[in-house]
Amino acid sequence: MLTLDAPVSTTVSIRHSRFVTHAGPVTDEEASLVFYRAVADPTATHNCWAWKLDHACRFNDDGEPAGTAGKPILAAIESKQLCRVMVVVTRYFGGVKLGAGGLVRAYSGCAARCLDQGRMIEIHPTSHYLVEAGFEWTGPVHTVIEACGASKENESYTSGGICLQLELRDDRLRKLQTMLRDATRGAATLTKI
């Protein structure tokens, strides 16, 4: 999956209307709301937007005719195969109506142009796991976790041994399972949380 490395913006004039476009990475719906509030101009005629997260997307026409703004912005995001991204296109009306087709072209074009200005980076889906093992396996478990590139989020101890909460890229799960089994002779357990 690809996302933007950092926020970007562009400004374009189309038939006397000014379109200011902001695009940026967002991790969840709450982050999209924060991004929207930071870039939307309440004095503008329209603040149309779209975002796409892992398996969810939303868009809003903000008073433009239905389907002429938010959906074309989302289409621009999807055409770039981006995820975890939000685009807000702010329109300052210049007195010339664009018509439905003109609005679709304007909003999708502004979104695509802005996204093209950004630097794309690859992101990897992750999941959270709990590793439990006896005290005698503490060293090998830490070695395996490091070798798999897992991020340790929490470490605790019980009367039976060690408990580690991890974040791991989904594409490294099989490697972690195999290495844990081999390093602990099957004594460690791995549970998705």
**Residue ranges of domains in the chain, CATH in brackets:** 2-122 (3.30.230.30), 126-192 (3.30.70.240)
pLDDT mean over 148-163: 94
Q: Would the pLDDT of 156 be above 90? A: yes
Distance separating alpha carbons of residues 72 and 163, to the nearest angstrom: 48
Strand residue runs (E) in 15-125? 17-25, 46-52, 57-60, 85-92, 120-122
Confidence of residue 125 (pLDDT cuts 50, 70, 90): confident
Nearest C-alpha neighbor of 10 from the set 1, 23, 26: 23
Residue 145 sits at φ, ψ, to 5 deg, of: -60, -45
Q: Would the pLDDT of 119 be above 90? A: yes
pLDDT mean over 133-155: 95
CA dist 70 to 54, 139, 155, 167, Å? Answer: 18, 53, 44, 34
Confidence of residue 60 (pLDDT cuts 50, 70, 90): very high
Q: By three-state DSSP, how is residue 167 classified?
A: strand
CB atoms within 10 A of CB 11: 12
**pLDDT tens sequence across 161-191:** 999 999 999 999 999 999 999 999 999 999 9
- Tokens linked to 38: 């930071």
DSSP state at residue 65: P
Confidence of residue 40 (pLDDT cuts 50, 70, 90): very high
Question: What pLDDT does 77 receive?
Answer: 97
> What angle is formed at CA 40 by the lines to CA 39 and CA 42, rounded to 5 degrees?
140
Nearest C-alpha neighbor of 12 from the set 120, 107, 116, 115: 107
- Tokens linked to 66: 């239905």
Question: What pLDDT does 124 receive?
Answer: 87
Residues making up the chain, counted from first to last:
193
CB atoms within 10 A of CB 139: 10
Q: By three-state DSSP, how is residue 5 classified?
A: coil
